[in-house]
Amino acid sequence: MTGKRLKVALLQETHRGSREANLDAIEAGLREAAAAGAELVLLQELHNGPYFCQHESVDAFELAETIPGPGTTRLGKLAEALKLVVVASLFERRAAGLYHNTAVVFDRSAAIAGKYRKMHIPDDPAFYEKFYFTPGDLGFEPIDTSVGRLGVLVCWDQWYPEAARLMALAGAELLLYPTAIGWDPNDTEDERERQREAWITVQRGHAIANGLPLMACNRTGFEADPSGVGAGIRFWGSSFVAGPQGEFLARAGTDGRELLIAEIDLARSEHVRRIWPFLRDRRIDAYGDLLKRFRD
């Protein structure tokens, strides 16, 4: 079974040192993606600035921006001019003292087609996100675009099968994860590889379990801890596109900026779900305990 083939792009980037330099690099990447025939482009998590969550600082809230605001205006104009569907990732200032980690979708237009606020918020060494982000309140709702229904989730969400499943049950046709994840430079080489492989494997599992293609776009490059306390993070890149059986359609390297291009056959999900009918065989009558924190 074949159907609409969708050319997609992931822009794996490094922090360029300033907001304007990052946006200039994103603009160049979007133009390159459009020239390559891509219709949908996924950007990495919090792409306008550094990954500031390595420390807790009230000054870092100055990096936040309103939605809509100047950042979405520039990206929206590019989406419209280049006729692209763009999935962006911003530090949203919703109100004084109320901030979110928010993905924003543009559908070949300067207008915002929809947004998703990150639901799962980590609090780990070098990833102190609970200090900055209020958990999302928009639920797991796909965003309708001209290329399909996008199940947009963000970074830490990618470890939770419930998030991917709820997007699938709401009719998502693709799963998309803007991401910022990397290594502690003090970790051994073996530990680094275990972490990276786990990150890749769990997301391929979401694609398989839901019979959906999946796109994950990660940062790359080293970013120092602004406080000087931690060892910094070396973001491992490794952005990829997987098909509905978890098969790799495209993979980026661990180091350096890369525009990853892949082609997705959207009709394959229907075929895969016919041979692997996981949604049919779910025992929804027996899953009540999933609403508990733990079964004591």
**The pLDDT of residue 223 is above 50:** yes
Mind listing the pLDDT tens digit for each residue in 104-125?
Answer: 999 999 999 999 999 999 999 9
Mind listing the pLDDT tens digit for each residue in 64-91?
Answer: 999 999 999 999 999 999 999 999 999 9
DSSP tag of 146: T
Is residue 108 in some structural domain?
yes
Catalytic pick among 155, 173, 217, 258: 155
Q: Which residues contact 20 (CB under 8 A, 6 or more apart)?
A: none
Catalytic pick among 45, 65, 92, 129: 45
CB 29 within 8 A of CB 259: yes
155 as an active site residue: the answer is yes
Q: Which residues contact 270 (CB under 8 A, 6 or more apart)?
A: 1, 3
Is the whole model's pTM more than 0.95, yes or no?
yes
Q: Give pLDDT, residue 1.
A: 43
At 4, the pLDDT band (50, 70, 90 cuts) reads confident
**The pLDDT of residue 2 is above 60:** no
Is residue 294 in some structural domain?
no
Structure tokens at 84: 């692209």
Structure tokens at 76: 């929206």
292 as an active site residue: the answer is no
Q: Give pLDDT, residue 55.
A: 97
Is residue 212 in some structural domain?
yes
CA distance to 128, 132, 147, 193, 250, per residue, from 42 (Å):
24, 23, 13, 25, 14
Catalytic pick among 65, 118, 217, 258: 118
Structure tokens at 44: 């990495």
Is residue 286 in some structural domain?
no
Is residue 181 in some structural domain?
yes
Say which amino acid occupies 46.
Answer: L
Residue for token pair 């001209």: 146
Instruction: Kindly state the percentage of the chain with pLDDT values over 90.
Output: 98
For position 269, which CATH number holds? Answer: 3.60.110.10
Is residue 133 in some structural domain?
yes
Nearest CA to 35 among 27, 45, 43? 27
Is residue 26 in some structural domain?
yes
217 as an active site residue: the answer is no
Residue for token pair 């290329």: 147
Instruction: Kindly state the percentage of the chain with pLDDT values over 70.
Output: 99
At 3, the pLDDT band (50, 70, 90 cuts) reads low
Structure tokens at 202: 């769990």
CB-count exposure of residue 169 (10 Å: 0-12, 13-18, 19+): middle
Mind listing the pLDDT tens digit for each residue in 10-44?
Answer: 999 999 999 999 999 999 999 999 999 999 999 99
Number of domains comprising the chain: 1
Is residue 94 in some structural domain?
yes
Domain span holding position 16: 5-280
Q: Give pLDDT, residue 38.
A: 98
User: In whole numbers, what is the pLDDT of the chain averaged over residues?
Assistant: 97
Instruction: Give the C-alpha separation, 188 to 100, whole Å.
Output: 33
